[in-house]
Amino acid sequence: MKQFEANFDGLVGPTHNYAGLSFGNVASYSNAAQASNPKAAAKQGLQKAKALADLGMVQGVLAPQERPDLYTLRRIGFSGTDAEVLQKAAKQAPALLNACCSASSMWTANAATVSPSADTRDGKVHFTPANLVDKLHRSIEPLTTGNILKATFNNDRHFKHHLHLPEHANFGDEGAANHTRLCSDYGKAGVELFVYGQSATNPNAPKPVKYPARQTLEASQAVARLHQLEDESCVFMQQNPDVIDQGVFHNDVISVGNQNVLFYHEQAFLDTEAKFAEISRKMNSEVHFIKVSTEQVSIDDAVRSYLFNTQIITLPNGEMAIVAPTDCQENPAVFAYLNELTTLGTPIKQVKYFDVKQSMQNGGGPACLRLRVAMNEQEIAAVNQHTLMNDALFNKLNSWVEKHYRDTLTVADLADPQLIIESRTALDELTQILKLGSVYQFQK
Ligand SMILES: NCCC[C@H](NC(=O)CCC(=O)O)C(=O)O
C-alpha cells in the first residue's frame, strides 16, 4: 500500500493580529502593536498549501478557532450581551481581551502530537491535542482543536482521538512542534523523537533562566504512553536551555526532520552525541544528521530567519525539498548556507521559498503552519475529503477570505463588536465548505 505524509495547514483566522502575547518568542514581542493584515495572512497560507498540493503532496487544511472567545470572557466574569462583554473586557482588562482574540490556532504544529499507525500498538493514527498551558491565549485552544481534528479525521476505525493532557505546568505540551518522527519510509515503524524543554519533577535538571520551557518531559512521556508507542521506538531528548533563552521557544525553531534526515543546529540539544547514538540504534537503518554549526549560522540568525522552521518534504520523485520562508533569502548567512546545502550530497536537493511574513511576524514559519499526518492510502480515504486541498477548494477558500476578511486590524480594533459578527459569519460558512458539522460553541 502506498504511504504518504500529509500536511494539514492551519487556516489563518479573521482576527489575526499582533498583540505581543508570547513571552520568549522574539518576533511576537518585537512586532507587538503593529497593524496586521488578516486577509494577506490567510492568502499567504493558502498559497503555500496550494503550492505543496501542486507539487504532488497530500495537503489538507484545518479550520481556525472562534475568536473573540466570548465563552472564556464570560467564564472570567464579563457579562451582558456579546457586545457588552467585549467592551467591558476592553475597558477593564485589555490584556485578557487580547488573549481571547488571538488567531494563534493557525500554527497547527502546536495543535496536536500525531503518531502514525505504523508506530502504534493498535494500528491506528493517534492524536493528542496540545494543552498549550504556558500561554493564556493558547491554553483556550485544545477543546475546539479536538473538535476540529475529530471532524477532519472522522473515522473510528483508523483514527484515535485523545483528550489533551491535564492543564498543569507539569504537563506543559506544545504538540508536534517538539516532536519529530524519523523513519526509513513513512509506512514503516519509525523512531519518535520527543524534545522537551525541562523536566517538571526533577528540580536538579537543567532549565532555561530567562524564558519559559514550554514542553515538559512528563508531557512527552504521557503522549508516548497514550499513543501506545514501544519504548524501543521513542527517544526523549532535552533542548539546550541556553537556546530557549535566546528565543528558541519550540524545538522546531532549531531542528526539523523528515524520514531519515535530521537537520539541526549544533546548539539545539543537550547530550547530543549519546542521544543521536540512541536514535541510530533504534532506527536500525541509516540516519542523515545534517549539522549546522554556529560559525555557519548563529542562533540569532536562525531565530530571525527561521532556517529550521522549514518543512523538509519528500517529493513524489523521492527527492527531498526544503520549504523555507523568504526571510531566509533575506539573511545573507542563511541564504548562503541554503544555496550550499543542496550541493552537499544530502537527500535535500532543492529549496522552495514562500512569503509567509504575516505569520512570521508572530513567530510562526512554514513548519509552524502545518501539522504532519503520515497515512497510508486507506487512511487518507477515511479523512474528511472536503478538507483536502485541490484547485476547487483553493478557489473557494480564496473567495471566502476575500469576502469576509479585513485587510488591516489593530489591537484597538479587537474591541469592535462587529468583529464577532464577521468572524462567526465567516466560520459558519467555512464549516459548510469543509463539511465539518458544528465544531464551534456558537453553532451548538
Ligand atoms: N509555532 C509557532 C507559534 C507562534 C505563537 N505566536 C503567538 O501566539 C503570538 C501571538 C501574538 O503575539 O499576538 C506562539 O508563540 O505560540
What are the tens digits of pLDDT across the range 61-102?
A: 999 999 999 999 999 999 999 999 999 999 999 999 999 999
Q: Say if residue 214 carries a ligand binding annotation.
A: yes
CA–CA gap between residue 383 and residue 79 (Å, rounded): 39
- The band of 111, judged by pLDDT with boundaries at 50, 70 and 90, is very high
106 Cα–ligand 1 center, Å: 9
Look at residue 110 and tell me whether its pLDDT is greater than 90. Answer: yes
- Output the pLDDT for position 151: 98
Q: Of ligand 1's atoms, which has the minimum distance to the CA of residue 32?
A: 12
Q: Is 102 in the pocket of ligand 1 (CB under 6 A)?
A: yes
Percent of the chain exceeding pLDDT 90 equals 99
Mean pLDDT, rounded, of the chain = 97
Residue spans per domain, the chain: 1-107+369-444
**Which cell numbers in the block locate residue 21?**
502575547
- Output the pLDDT for position 230: 97
Look at residue 203 and tell me whether its pLDDT is greater than 90. Answer: no
Look at residue 338 and tell me whether its pLDDT is greater than 90. Answer: yes
Q: Which of 15, 16, 25 to mutate to test the pocket of ligand 1 (most atoms within 8 A of CB)?
A: 25
Mean pLDDT for the stretch of residues 345-374 = 98
Look at residue 444 and tell me whether its pLDDT is greater than 90. Answer: no
Topology at the third CATH level for domain 1-107+369-444: L-arginine/glycine Amidinotransferase; Chain A (3.75.10)
Q: Say if residue 98 carries a ligand binding annotation.
A: no
**Which cell numbers in the block locate residue 268?**
539545539
**Which cell numbers in the block locate residue 29?**
514581542
316-331, pLDDT tens digit by residue? 999 999 999 999 999 9
Catalytic residues: 174, 250, 368
- Output the pLDDT for position 319: 96
Specify whether the CB–CB gap between 288 and 345 falls below 8 A: no
CB atoms within 10 A of CB 157: 10
14-54, pLDDT tens digit by residue? 999 999 999 999 999 999 989 999 999 999 999 999 999 99
**Predicted-assembly ipTM surpassing the 0.90 threshold:** yes
Q: Say if residue 25 carries a ligand binding annotation.
A: yes
End-to-end CA separation in angstroms for the chain: 39
- Give the residue carrying C-alpha cell 527527492: 319
Specify whether the CB–CB gap between 442 and 424 falls below 8 A: yes
340 Cα–ligand 1 center, Å: 31
- Give the residue carrying C-alpha cell 522549514: 310
Specify whether the CB–CB gap between 442 and 150 falls below 8 A: no
- Output the pLDDT for position 1: 87
Residue 354: burial class (beta carbons within 10 Å; 0-12, 13-18, 19+): buried
